[in-house]
Amino acid sequence: MEILGLDIGGSGIKGAPVDIVTGKLVSERIRIPTPEPSPPEQIAKILLDIVKHFRWTGPVGCGFPGVVNKGEIFTASNIDKKWLGTNATGLFSKTTGCEFVVINDADAAGIAEMEFGAGRDYSGVVFVITVGTGIGTALFSKRCLVPNTELGHLNMHGMIAERYSSDVARKKEDLSWKKWSRRFNEYLAEIERLFWPDLIIIGGGVSKKQPKFFQYLETKTKIVAAHLRNEAGMIGAAMATKYL
């Protein structure tokens, strides 16, 4: 069964049809830079362009960078504040003419990694942490998702964690990978202290740079790189149409 999977990120909006049985993209993805500012109507028009690109008329799963409850957006840390209170499911469905399911973007990536990626053989407490423009988290216990954890917003040094230890923070402050890893280790230690997970999966844009920083990570928990990398959000969003 094929579903169109969309992933709205702070820097780019990606989409591709996904075979939700195999977890594979069935055609080459399309990526459009996220505009600045990025109000709801403008993002909806970009999603319409992607739908038209694939001549899509069926169901669509979409990952969004914030807390999503029954299709409504409750937080917007790395995207336009006009999203707060927006019914994204209704807006996207009306704009494109397609049936939409909208979930948190890190939850989408986590669903994909648990089903087809690095977490497929684990049934304990698993964290999927996406590191890029911000820090997203997906928490699974016995393979069940606890949605909208948003633990990139933990307080660290008087600021939210993603302002201190995301990949964007590394770039803005021109940190070496070793120096940035010290910050990220602090964040991982806090996750361990609070949840004692059995496995931590590192995904998002930074997962492509694994050789540059994994050697500096210090955790009690087993830690691995995501297998699906930047495709995870699209795959998991498409899969969400089956579960939600």
The DSSP result for 115-144, as a single string, is: HHSTTTT--SEEEEEEESSSEEEEEEETTE
Please tell me whether residues 155 and 86 are part of one structural domain.
no
In a domain, 65, yes or no: yes
- The Cα-based distances of 174 to 50, 117, 167 in angstroms read 34, 31, 10
Give pLDDT, residue 243.
66
Please tell me whether residues 7 and 102 are part of one structural domain.
yes
Q: How far is the C-alpha of 122 from the C-alpha of 163, rounded, in Å?
A: 30
Q: What is the 3-state secondary structure (H, E, C) of 54-106?
A: CCCCCCEEEEECCCEECCEECCCCCCCHHHCCCEHHHHHHHHHCCCEEEEEHH
Give pLDDT, residue 144.
95
In a domain, 210, yes or no: yes
Please tell me whether residues 94 and 128 are part of one structural domain.
no
CATH, residue 174: 3.30.420.40
Residues 72-115 have pLDDT tens digits of 999 988 889 999 999 999 999 999 999 999 999 999 999 999 99
In a domain, 115, yes or no: no
Q: Which amino acid is at 75?
A: T
Q: How far is the C-alpha of 122 from the C-alpha of 42, rounded, in Å?
A: 39
- The Cα-based distances of 210 to 17, 177, 216, 227, 229 in angstroms read 27, 10, 10, 11, 11
Which segments in the chain show pLDDT lower than 50?
none
In a domain, 206, yes or no: yes
Rg (CA), the chain: 17
Please tell me whether residues 125 and 221 are part of one structural domain.
yes
Please tell me whether residues 91 and 136 are part of one structural domain.
no
Please tell me whether residues 158 and 194 are part of one structural domain.
yes
Q: Which domain holds residue 199?
A: 121-226
Residues 149-167 have pLDDT tens digits of 999 999 999 999 999 999 9
Domain count, the chain: 2
Give pLDDT, residue 78.
83
